[in-house]
Structure formats: C-alpha cells, structure tokens
Amino acid sequence: MLDKRQQFGQKGESLAARHLKKNGYKILEQNYRTKMGEIDIIAKDKETIVFVEVKARRSHHFGNPKWAVTPKKQRKISMVALYYLKATNQNNLKARFDVVAIRSKHDNPEIEIVKNAFELAY
C-alpha cells in the first residue's frame, strides 16, 4: 500500500508521461530500476534517448521543483543511464537528461519540460 507521498509521486509521473507524449516523446520505460538506482522515465525524442527525472511539488514552499535534482541525484541518474545504454546496446545514440517539473495546484497542475537540464555527471 502506497502512502500519500508515494501516491502523489506516481500521479506526477503519470502526468509527466502524458505531457511528454503530447509533446512528441515516445515513452520507452517507466520506473527503470537497477541496483544503482532508478530513472523515472526513459523516452525517445526524435533520434535522441531522453532520461527524464520527474519532480512534483504541491506548493512553492520548497521552491521550484526543477531545481530539486541535486548533483548527487544527477550522478546516480547518469550511472543508471550509462548502464541502460550499454545493456540495450544503444551506446551510439544521442542522449540527454530532461527534468519534468510539476507544480500541482489542485486540479490545474503546471507542467514544464526542462530539456538538457544537466550534463552527464560521474
């Protein structure tokens, strides 16, 4: 059973996936997990593999969610992304890291896609 925070996170990831699809992304994986960590969404935007971190906030109390991907989180996502590319034999494709920031205002969330949010970090 998921707690309210986990339910909010799942809802945010579903909203993000729908928003990405509306913007031309093809969703390849959701909640891709390895021993090293997890990537919320792996998608394709034209010829580019996109590793997407979803950040959702209920209020502005902790600031804009797009700034919540710390350097430590960037390194973890980078390691999982490299693992994914190698495991799926896609090392030769272009890749980037996007963040989907969601500010939930009850039934009217603001959704922003931040393309190239950070560089490969390791």
117 contacts: CB under 8 Å, gap ≥ 6:
53, 66, 69, 97, 98, 99
Dump pLDDT digits (tens) for 7-54: 766 788 999 999 999 999 999 999 999 999 999 999 999 999 999 999
pLDDT at 59: 60
Q: pTM of the predicted model, to two decimals?
A: 0.90
Q: How confident is the model at residue 107 (pLDDT cuts 50, 70, 90)?
A: confident
Type of residue found at 88: T
CATH code for the domain in which residue 92 is found: 3.40.1350.10
Q: Which domain holds residue 93?
A: 4-118
Dump pLDDT digits (tens) for 50-87: 999 999 877 665 666 777 899 999 999 999 999 999 99
| Total number of domains constituting the chain | 1
Task: Tell me the backbone φ, ψ of residue 29, rounded to 5 degrees.
Answer: -145, 150
